[in-house]
Amino acid sequence: MFKLFSKNFLNDLWANLQILASIDDLQSNEVIIESKSGILIDALLKINYPNIKNKKVSNINNFLEDILYDQKESQRTKFELIEDSHNMNWIILNDANPHKLFSSLYTVINALLSNNSIKSIIGFVIKVTINYKNIHNETIYLIYRMDTKSFYPFCSTSDEIGEQDREKENLVYLYLKKSKFKLENNKKKWLGIWGIPF
C-alpha cells in the first residue's frame, strides 16, 4: 500500500513540476523560475549510506553527490547544505535550467524515499519571479508541504514571522490554477516559511 501511495505521489509531483517548467518555457515573463530551490529537512535526517544503518546528516553530502553526479552525463546541478537563521536545515539546489533543476529536485526526493528517509523531508520551496496583474517583478515562493502533498504560494513582506501578502498569494494561486497546476485549496494550510536562505 505504501509503495503504491509513494508512486502516485511521485507521479503527481513530477506532473506538477513539468507544468511549472512549461509555464516558464512560454517566455511570457509572467512566471520566471529562479535558479535555486531548497528542500527543508529535519535536523535528525539519517541516511543509510552506504549500507550502514543510521549514519547521521554528516553523510548526506556523500549521498547527494552519489545521486546527483552518478554518471558522466549527469545533470551537475550544484548543491549545498545550509542551516538558516531560524535553525532550519536545507538542501539548496542550484541550476539555471528549470528542467534540470526540477529533475534534480525530483531525484533527491525519490532517493530519500527509496532510502526510507522521506519522513525527514518537511517540504521544499521553489523560487519564482512573478509579473502578473499588479505583481511586478516580485519574488514568490511555491511551497510544497510533504504532510499534505500539495503546493501553495507564499509571499513574505519581511523577515518577521507572520508578515505576508495574502492578496498577491491569491493572485498567484488563481494564475497557476488556470494553468492546471495543482495547488492546496484549503488556505488555512498555507503556512509560511520565513528566513528562506535563497
Average pLDDT across the chain, whole number: 85
**pLDDT tens digits, residue range 154-181?**
999 877 788 899 999 999 999 999 989 9
More confident of the two residues 150 and 56: 150
Contact 43, 57 (CB under 8 A): yes
pLDDT in tens, 5-25: 456 889 999 999 999 999 888
Which range of 39-48, 79-88, 138-147 scores highest in mean pLDDT? It is 138-147
Averaged over 127-150, what is the pLDDT? Answer: 93
Neighbours of 37 (CB within 10 A): 29
Give this prediction's pTM: 0.87
Is residue 54 over pLDDT 70? no
Confidence of residue 3 (pLDDT cuts 50, 70, 90): very low
pLDDT band at 51 (very low <50, low <70, confident <90, very high): very low
pLDDT of 74: 55
Q: Which pLDDT does position 1 carry in this prediction?
A: 35
DSSP per position, 77-145: -EEEEEE-TTS-EEEEEE-SSHHHHHHHHHHHHHHHHHTT-GGGEEEEEEEEEEEETTEEEEEEEEEEE
Q: In 3D, which of 78, 81, 102 has the Cα closest to residue 17?
A: 102
Which of 42-51, 85-94, 143-152 is predicted most confidently? 143-152
Compute the distance between CA of residue 66 and CA of residue 48 in angstroms, rounded to an integer: 13
